[in-house]
């Protein structure tokens, strides 16, 4: 059995949460459980990669300290990363026990927030611990507290070992109906790679420099070849147009190498596209000619261009997604 502990506190010496998770780890290791601890403050620049560590876990402990309000920034970043980059199918098989100790008010609310977040992610709940501890010494000197912590660790072991079922929660039903994560065309492997790249500042900087270099290269190339054609890409959009019932949207694509924007107006069964201007488009995008070539030749979708950083946009993301349904490039 493998259990991971994710500690979201600051790591200060008198943090009562550290005592609790140390005690739980001690008991679990006595039960021959492989315990791995991740102090999130040590991974603050790579938190987006930590959902990958859930792969081999049968259960996890989310532990944090309420020092003034809420679960803290590190733990929130980790949960955000699980939502954006985590393998939801794997998370649905993982039990989670929340551990929240407070030096101020709000430990019960924070514990509930951790449980709710894990259930929305699709994970399985476990009984946790929360408490108000003014002085860590009183926690360490009280044998009854140590007994409670030991029992909680044993209960977690028993729950995971026996695969104890639980009643379905309403927040999981809400997730299935309306709180759906953004769909992507990425495979789980590509998602993991993306999470690694997002956390790598040097990689992001290199990508920006490469994009700037390519932009300059293609701009010069187009200027030399006189490629500022008024009809470029228009025929490709007209040929691949597939009407979507009820869709009415105005798109503007600003191609860096062109002076005028590419305007696309979709009104149900009709579509109009031209180079010019339009006021208040529903979605405005910024990209370069190389990315447009990849899109119109079917090598990349609009959504993947946005996810990879090759295209920037502002407006309604759902309306952007319709472009891949309305224009079937490469088919």
**What Cα–Cα distance (Å) separates residue 11 from each residue in 14, 27, 81, 175, 259?**
9, 21, 21, 33, 54
Which two structure tokens, joined as six digits, stand for 98? 């929340």
Q: Specify the long-range contacts of residues 313-317, CB closer than 8 Å, at least 24 apart.
A: 313/283, 313/284, 313/285, 313/286, 314/283, 314/284, 315/281, 315/282, 315/283, 315/284, 316/282, 316/283, 317/182
Listing DSSP states for 271-318 in one string gives: EEEEEE--SS-SEEEEE-HHHHHHHHTTSS-HHHHHHHTSSEEEE-HH
Q: At what angle do helices 170-177 and 107-120 cross, to 10 degrees?
A: 50
Across 11-20, b (16+ Cβ under 10 Å) vs e yields eeeebbbbbb
Q: How far apart are CA 184 and CA 301, in angstroms?
A: 10
pLDDT at 226: 43
CB 199 within 8 A of CB 45: yes
**What Cα–Cα distance (Å) separates residue 23 from each residue in 11, 203, 234, 272?**
16, 40, 66, 67
Q: How far apart are CA 49 and CA 86, in angstroms?
A: 9
pLDDT at 95: 93
3 state DSSP class of 220: helix
pLDDT at 109: 92
Closest CA to 78 of 67, 91, 69: 91
Full set of structural domains in the chain with CATH: 2-177 (3.40.50.360), 234-326 (3.30.1050.10)
Continuous segment of H or E residues that includes residue 63:
strand 59-66
Q: How far apart are CA 268 and CA 270, in angstroms?
A: 6
How many CA within 13 A on the CB side of residue 123?
27
Q: How far apart are CA 270 and CA 248, in angstroms?
A: 9
Across 271-287, b (16+ Cβ under 10 Å) vs e yields bebebeeeeebbbbbeb
Q: Do strands 129-132 and 95-102 pair parallel, antiparallel, or not at all (unpaired)?
A: parallel
User: Alpha helices of the chain — where are they, by DSSP H?
Assistant: 16-30, 73-85, 88-91, 107-120, 136-141, 143-161, 170-177, 188-199, 201-225, 234-239, 289-296, 302-308, 317-321, 323-326
Query: pLDDT tens digits for the chain (331 residues)?
Result: 899 999 999 988 889 999 999 999 999 999 999 999 999 999 988 898 899 999 889 999 999 999 988 899 999 999 999 988 888 889 989 999 999 999 888 899 999 999 999 998 889 888 899 999 888 888 888 999 999 999 999 999 999 988 888 777 776 665 555 555 555 555 555 565 666 555 566 666 777 777 877 777 776 665 555 445 667 888 889 989 998 888 899 999 999 888 888 999 999 899 999 999 888 899 999 999 889 999 988 888 888 888 888 889 888 878 888 888 888 887 6
Q: Which are the contacts of 124, defined by CB distance < 8 A and separation ≥ 6?
A: 92, 93, 94, 95, 96, 166
């Amino acid at each position: 059995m493998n259990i991971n502990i994710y500690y979201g506190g600051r790591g200060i010496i008198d943090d009562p949460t550290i005592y609790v998770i140390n005690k739980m780890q001690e008991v679990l290791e006595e039960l021959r459980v492989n315990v791995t601890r991740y102090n999130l403050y040590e991974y603050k620049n790579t938190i987006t990669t930590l959902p990958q560590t859930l792969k081999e876990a049968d259960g996890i402990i989310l532990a944090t300290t309420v020092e003034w309000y809420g679960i803290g920034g590190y733990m929130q970043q980790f949960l955000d990363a699980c939502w954006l980059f985590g393998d939801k199918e794997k998370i649905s098989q993982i039990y989670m026990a929340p551990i929240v100790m407070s030096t101020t008010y709000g430990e019960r609310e924070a514990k509930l927030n951790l449980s709710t977040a894990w259930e929305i992610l699709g994970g399985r709940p476990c009984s946790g611990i929360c408490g108000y501890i003014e002085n860590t010494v009183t926690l360490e000197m009280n044998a009854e507290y140590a007994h409670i912590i030991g029992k909680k660790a044993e209960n977690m072991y028993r729950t995971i070992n026996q695969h104890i079922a639980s009643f379905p929660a309403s927040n999981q039903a809400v997730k299935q109906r309306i709180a759906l994560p953004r769909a992507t065309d990425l495979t789980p492997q590509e998602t993991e790679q993306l999470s690694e790249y997002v956390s790598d500042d040097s990689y992001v900087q290199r990508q920006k420099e490469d994009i700037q270099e390519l932009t300059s290269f293609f701009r010069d190339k187009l200027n030399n070849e006189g490629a500022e054609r008024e009809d470029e890409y228009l025929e490709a959009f007209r040929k691949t147009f597939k009407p979507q019932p009820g869709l009415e949207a105005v798109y503007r694509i600003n191609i860096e190498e062109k002076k005028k924007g590419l305007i696309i107006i979709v009104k149900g069964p009709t579509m109009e596209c031209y180079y010019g201007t339009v006021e208040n488009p529903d979605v405005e995008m910024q990209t370069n000619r190389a990315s447009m070539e990849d899109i119109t030749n079917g090598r990349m979708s609009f959504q993947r261009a946005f996810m990879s950083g090759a295209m920037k946009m502002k407006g309604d993301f759902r309306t952007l997604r319709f472009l891949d349904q309305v224009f079937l490039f490469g088919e």
